Each structure stands twice: as C-alpha cells, then as structure tokens.
Amino acid sequence: MNLSDFFKENRKAALAFSGGVDSAYLLYAAKAAGADVLAYYVKSAFQPQFELEDAKRLCGELNAGLKILTADVLADQAVRENPADRCYHCKKMIFTTIAEAAKADGYGMLLDGTNASDEEDDRPGMQALRELSVRSPLRECDLTKEEIRRLSREAGLFTWEKPAYACLATRIPTGEEITAEKLKSTEAAEDFLFSLGFTDFRVRRFDGAARLQFPASQLARVLEKREEIVRELKKYYRAVLLDMEART
C-alpha cells in the first residue's frame, strides 16, 4: 500500500500535527490525494513557540485547515513527576484531547506521523496510541525517515531538512520534577543558541546546570562563542557544561 491508496480508502480523518518532518509530509500527501484531513496542533508547556509557528506556516503553504488546541500537561501528576513512562501519560492526554475535538468536528479516524524508522521500544508513547486506535499511515506504508525527507524535498516542503526535535520535557532527567520554570529556561536557552546559528543541539538539565550537546561539526564554533554562551545561559542555570561526546 502507498499513501495514495491509503487515502483512497480513508477519505476523512483528523491528523495529530506537530509541524515536524513526518506529520508535514503526511498532511501534504493527504491534500495531494484529495482527502478531507484536518490538522490538530496541541499547544502545551512542552512545545516551544517555533513549533507552532512552523505548523501555521506549513498549513498556510498547503492551504490546509489547522485547529489549535491546548492541554495543561503539568496538571497531570503522572506527567509532572516525570517517571520513566511519562511519555505514555503525556501522549494519552494529548491524543485524547485531539480525539475528543475531532469527534465533535465529525472526524472519527485519528492519524499520526509515526514512520517505519520509529522503533516501538524507543517510543514509550506507542502504547497510548494503540489504546486510542491511532493509525500511522507512514508506518503502514513502510516509509522511513530518509524516504520522507527525500519526498518532502521533492514536494518543496520547507520541513524536509528540519532536525528532529523532541519535546522540552526530554531535557529534564527522568525522576526530576518538571516545572514550568524549568521548561521556560530550556526554551530560552535553546532559542538563544538557535539565534547564534546552531542547529540540532540539546540543552539538557543536569543538577541545575546546563549540559550542552552539539554535533561534532559545531563544537569548534561553540568554543569560539564560549563567553557569550556562558554569559547568557547562566541567567537560567547555575553552570554551563559542554558535552565533548558529540551529538549524533
């Protein structure tokens, strides 16, 4: 089965939309097939503002409908306490929020952007998707991340080269309570590094310090900007540490 066949069989669906590579291409494919697919973006404390802006931009370029919902993820103790299965509880809340809104809008099927490269063992939230009967067309059609990027580039989608971006909660160690302040500090620190031209990095929290992870190709420039980076990030962290094991 290919995506065109999938959308011929499933003409109407809601799409959990993040503005990332996978859901962007899935929305494009749905539009190309003439399917009635409405994108739903859930704004929460775990998503940085630029993700919402990318989602709006992509939907605007595709002339696709977008509904923006909100979810108070930190109101859930099982999420806030940040246990090993935090992602399950968060996904359950996010996708339940979408499913309820979609049902009210007349969409009975819910899709997401999981692809054939995503291993279930690496995605704790997969259980929540199964419980809510979420369909993953990219995975069902055996499309890998590499293929999705290639197809996205051919389609002219700006998301084709967008780096993978896990939510802000992943920057806080498992077992450490997640707070709005910690999330805001992470977003501010990463926004600053983005403004300097760095990409595909992480600012992880480590005992109140910022542990910076960059690709090997950017480490030299990080050291050139060392004083500027330390000065800015110490507004939010007690110390700034550079991980010399390059991010891959």
CA nearest 28: which of 3, 54, 1, 56? Answer: 3
- How confident is the model at residue 126, as a pLDDT? 85
**pLDDT < 50: residue spans in the chain:** none
Cα distances from 65 to residues 13, 59, 79, 118, in angstroms, run 12, 7, 30, 27
> Is the pTM higher than 0.85?
yes
SS3 of residue 115 by DSSP: coil
Instruction: Give the burial class of 99: count Cβ atoms within 10 A of its Cβ; 0-12 exposed, 13-18 middle, 19 or more buried.
Output: buried
Q: Which domains does the chain have, with CATH numbers?
A: 3-161 (3.40.50.620), 179-242 (3.30.70)
pLDDT score at 119 = 72
Supply the pLDDT for residue 120: 64
pLDDT for the residue 248: 74
Angle between helix axes 49-62 and 180-195 (nearest 10 degrees) is 60
Beta-carbon contacts of residue 9 (< 8 Å; ≥ 6 apart): none
In terms of DSSP bridges, do strands 202-206 and 110-111 run parallel, antiparallel, or are they unpaired?
unpaired
Token pair for 131: 């419980």
